[in-house]
Amino acid sequence: MAFSLRASIACSVITLSSACSLMVDSSGLAGAESSDQNVDRAESGTSNDGGGVTGGDGGNVTDDGGVGDAGPDVVTDAGPGTGDPAFGNAGVVHVSLGTSTTVGSFALQSDGKIIVGGGVMRVDNYDFYLKRLLANGADDTTFNGSGSAFYDFQGNDEWVEDVLIQPDGRIVVTGESWQSGGFDLALVRFMPAGTIDTSFGTSRTNVSQDDLPLRLLRQSDGKILAIGNSGTKSQYQFSGARFTSNGAPDTSFGSGGSFHTLFGTGNCPGRDGLLLTDGTVLVTGAVTQAASDMNFGLARYTSAGALDTTFCSNGLCAYSFGTGEDFVYGIAAQSDGKVLMAGYMTKQGHYHSALVRVGADGSYDTTFGNAGKVTLDVSGNDLVGNVAVFGDWIYLSGYVETGVNASDLYVARLDMSGQLDPSFGISGVATFHLGDGENWPGRMLVQNDGKVVVVGTTGPQNAQSGYVLRVVP
């Protein structure tokens, strides 16, 4: 079996392969790096410069990070690209549950409540946590009696990377847990009221290497897919594992319940995934085509977890912005079947936000940007962590460098041709300063009313706090 389970009765911890490791990248997204393990923590890459779409100065929509004071730089007129005044403090809720708190991802309930998840340092280790907010950003104290729920795997470090709500309201979270010298994929399920669901998961032990699960996907039959990367410290790969709705490994998927694919000549960390209506699985990540030349990559797997070798070149499409490093973090599907991938490209020593749009067959969509590619120069060094499609708009959330060990969050809106929307923020881009130091974006989702929700983490390592931002469309 290519992966193993390590669990209490209420959780599953899975080692995804015999050659598993966490991706390491100095520009990685979403939260704390795990001390000397150098774990990249996000929850979303020239002969051709990708279209050269330039987004002004990135805007001046800011918040000083305080819970009680919106600060003089916060725009509160509720125009497109501003913090939602009906949520938290000028659109922002700060999350601090211990010495250090990260927010990696979240899920939206049908009643408008928001469930955020991440890692919280309690005593000497990070633990899984969930926190539920009302639709207005206030704590929902009916959730586990306090608004927050926690889970600790035997006193080791663990962080939530993604959150999934099942149709019955139960909440599945995935992340990594430090076990016997390496990180394993972990699954935990909570009841709708916030208590641990003791009917979930199985128990099994096997020592292996590291894994980084980044996305949870739910099939129509209730089975759960965990997508991410695994490998050794010098070689990463696209990885995925499937489980029943109750957390047992589905050994009919891939090889013994999981797949692990190495593309190109070196590192290829998987970063995000999509589940299509026919059960096909798309996984995006960075692939090394030549020495020091990483490109956007997109792989397609059958519903049984086998690599679909009829897709592009032996199951993988690669997309390049030139001779520099291109790295992908997020993926989104349009209603017409086209697929967007977002991350960064490098040019003249700087990294810039970058997008690629392709058709269902993986070929460039030449109606988008410049021959299927768009780049944004928000300000200096910047990158995209997440991409989402809502109606006729494409939303991005990302990171823009503002100084040494300092950055702001940005949210941008583009039309379907890849042009920035000048009515949103400033020249299509709104920036938010949510705390001192780094402002890392985690997951981004769009509510049914069009409001954009982004979570993430601010502050120095081991003294961090999380945030939830809601933006007016």
Q: What is the mean pLDDT of residues 342-362?
A: 96
CB 117 within 8 A of CB 104: yes
∠14-20-23 over CA atoms, to 5°? 110
Least confident of 20-29, 199-208, 318-327, 457-466: 20-29
| Cα 454 to Cα 470: distance, rounded to the nearest angstrom | 7
Q: How is residue 203 written in tokens? A: 């128990």
At 32, the amino acid letter reads: A
Confidence band, pLDDT 50/70/90 cuts, at residue 159: very high
Q: Is the dihedral of CA 80, 83, 88, 94 positive or negative?
A: positive
pLDDT value for 207: 30
pLDDT value for 12: 53
| Cα 171 to Cα 159: distance, rounded to the nearest angstrom | 16
Q: How is residue 349 written in tokens? A: 């020593």
> pLDDT at residue 288 above 70?
yes
Q: What is the mean pLDDT of residues 72-77?
A: 44
What tens digit of pLDDT does each residue of 222-233 get? 999 999 998 776
CB 458 within 8 A of CB 29: no
Q: Which residue would you say has higher pLDDT here, 30 or 438? A: 438
| Cα 22 to Cα 74: distance, rounded to the nearest angstrom | 37
Which single residue is written with the structure tokens 């497109």? 80
pLDDT value for 77: 66
> pLDDT at residue 74 above 80?
no
Q: How is residue 444 written in tokens? A: 């981004």
In terms of residues, how long is the chain? 473
Q: Which residue would you say has higher pLDDT here, 69 or 295? A: 295
Q: Where are the beta strands (DSSP E) in 276-314?
A: 281-290, 293-301
CB 341 within 8 A of CB 331: yes
Report all structural domains of the chain as residue ranges with CATH numbers, in order of start: 4-31+41-471 (2.130.10.10)
Q: What is the mean pLDDT of residues 430-435?
A: 96
| Cα 137 to Cα 338: distance, rounded to the nearest angstrom | 34
| Cα 400 to Cα 402: distance, rounded to the nearest angstrom | 6
Backbone angles phi, psi at 136, to 5 degrees: -95, 5
What tens digit of pLDDT does each residue of 37-53 get? 222 333 332 222 333 32
Q: 470: part of which helix (H) or strand (E)?
A: strand 465-471
Which single residue is written with the structure tokens 């085509």? 289
% residues pLDDT > 70 (the chain): 81
Helices (H) and strands (E) in the chain, counts: 0, 29
Q: 402: part of which helix (H) or strand (E)?
A: strand 393-403
> pLDDT at residue 114 above 60?
yes
Q: Where are the beta strands (DSSP E) in 123-249?
A: 125-133, 148-151, 158-165, 171-179, 182-190, 211-218, 224-232, 235-243
pLDDT value for 209: 64
pLDDT value for 92: 98
> pLDDT at residue 260 above 70?
yes
> pLDDT at residue 97 above 90?
yes
The rounded mean pLDDT for the chain is: 84
Q: What is the mean pLDDT of residues 463-470?
A: 97
Q: What residues contact 219, with CB distance under 8 A and at least 6 apart? A: 225, 275, 279
Q: What is the mean pLDDT of residues 98-127?
A: 96
Q: CA torsion angle for 289, 294, 300, 304 (degrees, to 10)?
A: 90
pLDDT value for 153: 84
